[in-house]
Amino acid sequence: MCADLWSFALSTYARPGVETVCLRLQEQGADVCLLLCGAWLEQRGAAFEPERMRTLQQLARPWQAQVIEPLRQLRVQWRAMAQQDEPLAALRERVKALELVAERQLLTRLEALAQAWPKGETTQQRWLEGLAAEDAANLDHDALQQLRVMITGT
């Protein structure tokens, strides 16, 4: 088990199939950083509480909207042009690296918020579903379940 959220996110994302499912959920509006945080909280045994969930969402939303999304949009917007423009391709890679730094910063902030929550509180966890609930109308619930199985094996 990874003690910190960033290490957990990296090791989880590297598992076969996880990146594909996460990107599919992201395209549907899910905040993958929040989903990975939810999976980390489940692994730690932090009890799901609606107030805790709202606190995480309130922290993540502005950072996603004001920092990560603009970087992601720019990177995606430049994808086609960068294939024929080497200097733009290099710049796009730098934007991609900044996007990763911004995601790491969000995960660090989420971890700091949740770090004090007791571990081992319960075995009945539903952080993934709770943190995805806001996007429930648009999300592929099979993909969310697939992500749960890939991460937890249950």
Tens of each residue's pLDDT in the chain, 154 residues: 568 999 999 999 999 999 999 999 988 888 999 999 999 998 888 989 999 999 999 999 999 999 999 999 999 999 999 999 999 999 999 999 999 999 999 999 999 999 989 887 765 668 888 888 765 567 778 888 888 888 877 6
Identify whether the C-beta of residue 42 lies closer than 8 Å to the C-beta of residue 148: no
Question: Residue 118: what pLDDT?
Answer: 86
Q: What is the pLDDT of residue 29?
A: 86
Residue 152 is predicted with a pLDDT of 76
CA dihedral 141, 146, 147, 149 (to 10 degrees): 130
Q: What is the reported pLDDT for 114?
A: 95
Contacts of 41 (CB under 8 A, 6+ apart): 48, 114, 117, 125, 127
**pLDDT at 9 (0 to 100):** 95
How distant is the alpha carbon of residue 52 from its chain centre? Answer: 17
Let me know: does 152 contact 42? Beta carbons within 8 Å: yes
The pTM assigned to this predicted structure is: 0.90
Instruction: Specify the DSSP class assigned to residue 135.
Output: G
